[in-house]
Amino acid sequence: MSELKLYNTLGRNIQNFQSQIPKKVGMYVCGPTVYGPPHLGHVRGPIVFDVLRRFLKYQGYKVRFVRNITDVGHLVGDADEGEDKLQKQAKIEQLEPMEVAQSYTDQYNWAMDQLNVQRPSIEPKASGHIIEQIEMIQTIMDKGFAYEVNGSVYFDVMAYSIEHKYGELSGRNTDDLIAGAGNESRSLEGQDEKKSPNDFALWKRATPEHIMQWTSPWGKGYPGWHIECSAMSAKYLGESFDIHGGGMDLLFPHHECEIAQSKTAHNHQLARYWVHHNMITINGQKMAKSLNNGIKVTELFEGNHSLLSRGFGPKTLRFFVLQAHYRGTLDFSEEALIASEKGMKRLESAIGIIKNLKVSDESTIEIGDVKSAIFDALNDDLNTPIVIAQLFELAKRIQIVNDGKEKINSVIRDEIGQLMNEVYNDILGMPITSNESSNNNLDEIMSLVTDIRTSAKNEKNYALSDLIRDRLRAAGITLMDSKEGTTWKID
Beta strands in 45-157 (DSSP E): 62-67, 146-149, 152-155
Q: Under rule CB under 5 A, which residues in 353-382 are in contact with Zn ion?
A: none
Site map (CB under 5 A) of Zn ion, residues 227-256, x = contact: --x---------------------------
How far apart (Å, rounded) are the C-alpha atoms in residues 194 and 426? 50
Nearest to 242, CA basis, from 26, 9, 90 = 26
Residue 6 or 229: which CB sits closer to Zn ion?
Answer: 229
The span of 26-34, 326-334, 357-365, 388-396 binding Zn ion (CB under 5 A) equals 26-34
Asked if 265 interacts with Zn ion (CB under 5 A), we say no
Which candidate, 84, 82, 83, 79, places its Cα nearest to that of 194? 79
> Which among 197, 192, 164 has a CA at the least distance from the CA of 178?
197
Nearest distance from C-beta of residue 270 to Zn ion, angstroms: 11
Q: How far is the CB of 257 from Zn ion (least distance, A)?
A: 9
In degrees and rounded to multiples of 5, residue 36 shows phi and psi of -165, 165
Tell me whether residue 247 or residue 314 sits nearer to Zn ion (CB atom): 247
Would you say 87 or 262 has its CB closer to Zn ion? 262
Nearby residues of 413 by Cβ (< 8 Å), 6 or more positions away = 354, 357, 359
Question: Minimum CB separation from Zn ion for residue 326, in Å?
Answer: 18
The reply on whether position 420 binds Zn ion by CB under 5 A is no
- Smallest distance from Zn ion to CB 250, Å: 6
Least distance to Zn ion, CB of residue 237, Å? 13
Give least dist CB 246 to Zn ion, A.
Answer: 6
DSSP secondary structure of 136-193: HHHHHHHTTSEEEETTEEEE-HHHHHTTS-TTTTT---HHHHHHHHHHHHHTSTTGGG
Binding letters toward Zn ion, positions 194-233, x by CB under 5 A = -----------------------------------x----
- Contact call for residues 280 and 248 (beta carbons, < 8 A): no
- Of 27-46, binders to Zn ion (CB under 5 A) are 30
Applying CB under 5 A, the span of 23-31, 102-110, 121-129, 336-344 interacting with Zn ion comes to 23-31
Looking at this protein, which amino acid is placed at residue 276?
Answer: H
In this complex, which beta carbon is closest to Zn ion, that of residue 114 or of residue 170? 170
On the question of a cis peptide bond just before residue 431, with omega within 30 degrees of 0, the verdict is no
* Residue 303 beta carbon to Zn ion: minimum distance, rounded to whole angstroms: 33
Where on the chain is the footprint of Zn ion (CB under 5 A)? 30, 229
